[in-house]
Amino acid sequence: MATSSITKNFIISDEKQIELFANAIEESYEESLRTSRSDASTKFRELQNADEIKEIMEKWRKSHE
């Protein structure tokens, strides 16, 4: 969980909730140290024409029905 994604204020009042929240932040930080940039790289395919775009969109639509 990226801390920059927290855009609202919230209140943690229970001691167990505080511990869980702190642990989640620590785990996220430790995971970021273990992940190399090459592991996090985004793979993509450049679409060259309208037919390729239609084909990809049709596959996406079928998978989300």
Tell me the pLDDT tens digit for each residue of 7-16.
778 788 889 9
In a domain, 52, yes or no: yes
Max alpha carbon distance in the chain (Å)?
57
Tell me, yes or no, whether 37 lies in a domain. Answer: yes
Residue 7 lies in a domain: no
Whether 3 maps to a domain, the answer reads no
Residue 43 lies in a domain: yes
Q: What is the pLDDT of residues 12-64, one digit of tens each?
A: 888 999 999 899 989 988 888 887 666 556 677 788 899 999 999 999 889 88
Q: How many domains does the chain have?
A: 1
Task: Give residue 16's identity as a one-letter amino acid code.
Answer: K
Look at the block and give the residue holding tokens 């049709």. Answer: 58
- Kindly state whether residue 4 falls inside one of the protein's structural domains: no
Residue 48 belongs to what domain range? 13-63
C-alpha–C-alpha distance, residues 65 and 53, integer Å: 18
* CA atoms 24, 25, 28, 34: torsion sign: negative
Q: Is residue 35 situated within a structural domain?
A: yes
In contact, 1 and 21? CB cutoff 8 Å:
no
